[in-house]
Amino acid sequence: MTERFDLAVVGSGFAGSLTALIARRLGRSVVLLERGSHPRFAIGESSSPLANLLLEELAERYDLPRVKPLSAWGAWRRAYPDVLCGLKRGFTFYAHEAGRPFGADAERRDQLLVAASPNDDVADTHWYRPDFDAFLAHEAAAAGAEFRDRTRLRVLAHDASGFTLGADRLGSSSVIRARLVIDASGPRGFLHHALGLAEARFPHLPETEGLFAHFENVRRVGDMGTFASSDEPPYPADDAALHHVFEGGWIWVLRFANGLVSAGVSATPELARDLRLSDGGPAWDRLLSRLPTVRAQFAGARTTVPFVHRRRLPFRAGAASGPGWTLLPSAAAFVDPLLSTGFPLTLLGIERLAVALERDWDDPSMPARLSNDAALSLFEADTAALLVSALFARFHDFPVFAALTTLYFAAASYAEAARRLGRSGLSGSFLSGSHPSFGPALVRCCRMALGQDPGKRNELLATIGSAIEPLDVIGLSDISRRNWFPVDAADLFAGAHKLGATRDEIAELLRRAGLAPVAVEAAAP
């Protein structure tokens, strides 16, 4: 007997389950198919202001009151103390030179702290994926999605009218017919193999390798004298996505509320080869032996799960949709963990897919709509990849690296503010890649950064400065801040004209975003 569904969602990571949940709210019949079972280890943990805003908006639009608290630290901890997460107040970067302790430059030229939220309550989070994904899969099932874990799938037939899938589960086989297959199984996932889809490449991005695990007993940099400062940082540097950057790669350190730490390295092929990264733990030790201050942070640390080695982190599908199928952005492309672009890219794709399911399901234009949306998802991944490629090219020159990151922070915070004002059209696609002036300026800056002409360094810095100015609503252009950027309501008031907003609209935005009214009044001109 053939079971029939409107949608088959393949993969019950957060993206597949959230999509299934939304589709159920829109009245579609859904089967959610998972190869493994929950809870399970998954990588990709650090959210961002834009990701959380998207999650919140999806929860509001599709009546998901149980999902909404997961979009901010305070609400999450109050609603679900047993679903583990970590506090993320911002993005912390420290620059290291091989064989030398962290320099702790008095002018802070070797560090960058960009606050993402004004206080803990509305802060972003690190998602402990075993808990988070299990929660969402349970929600999808409770909403009526047919959830099948431990399922091996194969494509029996497919055409524009849909897919027939063979599903083996616990020794029995079934046949599933779905009008649309949504692939949420990650890079090089189910449809990539089943349909033999072509893989493209990000032209400038190194074929990085990853090595990562979870740890306990990792020291907080705030407790290490090396990082001490007489000034008060914009937020505790450890309550963040903490990046240690160095020539050839970077290490992430993400801290969960119970003290568990997610850490790993993304390394260029040259560094990965040099470290023999596929060795796992010994390679991690070899890496830390080159970075004395990071080694001190991990002295006494112990892994709680085995190291995972990924030989090729980046992936880009040649196409992300076809007759009867579409890939979520997370199955269509992955760039690098740098700047936490995975979640917002994925959520933007889910947002578009939800609109298509809502408005165009019975319309003959649905395939064209899915195809356009998929092309946009790939364009957004290409934009992120270009910026990350430029950053990889400048690990050795931290001031330029830090300046390049402002392209991300300017675009992301502008997009967040524009969305909060109900004007998301102002910012365009992810990283404002489709913005008429910022998009081309971003490309120009990245191309310059990818060039090797040292004579053009100052020109590059000036070009970045001009590029971010029209979108900078968080004070990134203010060099007196010496690489520490707090959330300051005054910056948003000063940048109101860039958003076409009045003072009252900005004050309202800040109140809704969780800045105490007193802070708003104090900052208002």
In the complex, which residues of this chain contact ligand FAD (CB under 6 A)? Answer: 10-16, 33-36, 42-46, 153, 184-186, 189-190, 210, 212, 264, 313, 328, 330, 337, 340, 342-343, 346
Nearer to ligand FAD, 188 or 498 (CB): 188
Query: What are the structure tokens assigned to 406, written together?
Result: 């402002």
CB neighbours of 340 closer than 8 A, spacing ≥ 6? 46, 47, 48, 51, 91, 241
Nearer to ligand FAD, 185 or 427 (CB): 185
Nearer to ligand FAD, 155 or 319 (CB): 155
Task: Find the shortest distance in angstroms from Cβ 79 to ligand FAD.
Answer: 21
Nearer to ligand FAD, 128 or 190 (CB): 190
Task: Find the shortest distance in angstroms from Cβ 40 to ligand FAD.
Answer: 7
Using CA atoms, how far apart are residues 273 and 389, in angstroms rounded to an integer? Answer: 19
Nearer to ligand FAD, 70 or 448 (CB): 70
Task: Find the shortest distance in angstroms from Cβ 32 to ligand FAD.
Answer: 9
Question: Nearest 5 degrees, angle CA 187-CA 356-CA 346?
Answer: 30
Nearer to ligand FAD, 166 or 292 (CB): 166
Task: Find the shortest distance in angstroms from Cβ 14 to ligand FAD.
Answer: 5
Please compute Rg for the chain using Cα positions: 23
Q: How far is CA 77 from the centre of its chain?
A: 21
Terminal CA-to-CA distance of the chain, rounded, Å?
Answer: 69
Cis omega (within 30 of 0) on the bond before 130? no
Nearer to ligand FAD, 189 or 206 (CB): 189
Nearer to ligand FAD, 294 or 327 (CB): 327
b/e per residue 342-378 (b: at least 16 CB within 10 A): bbbbbbbbbbbbbebbbeebeeeebbebbbebbebbb
Task: Find the shortest distance in angstroms from Cβ 254 to ligand FAD.
Answer: 7
Q: How far is CA 154 from the centre of its chain?
A: 30
**Token pair 């740890």 is at which residue?**
215
Task: Find the shortest distance in angstroms from Cβ 448 to ligand FAD.
Answer: 27
| Cβ–Cβ < 8 Å for 23, 9 | yes
Task: Find the shortest distance in angstroms from Cβ 151 to ligand FAD.
Answer: 6
Nearer to ligand FAD, 10 or 467 (CB): 10
Nearer to ligand FAD, 205 or 501 (CB): 205
**Token pair 């430029």 is at which residue?**
390
Contacts 24+ apart (CB under 8 A), 420-425: 420/53, 420/509, 420/512, 420/513, 421/499, 421/501, 421/505, 421/509, 423/499, 423/500
Task: Find the shortest distance in angstroms from Cβ 95 to ligand FAD.
Answer: 20
Beta-ladder partners of 211: 265, 309
Task: Find the shortest distance in angstroms from Cβ 202 to ligand FAD.
Answer: 14
Residue nearest to ligand FAD (CB): 44
At position 21, the amino acid (one-letter code) is L
Using CA atoms, how far apart are residues 453 and 461, in angstroms rounded to an integer? Answer: 13
Task: Find the shortest distance in angstroms from Cβ 102 to ligand FAD.
Answer: 22
| Cβ–Cβ < 8 Å for 404, 394 | yes
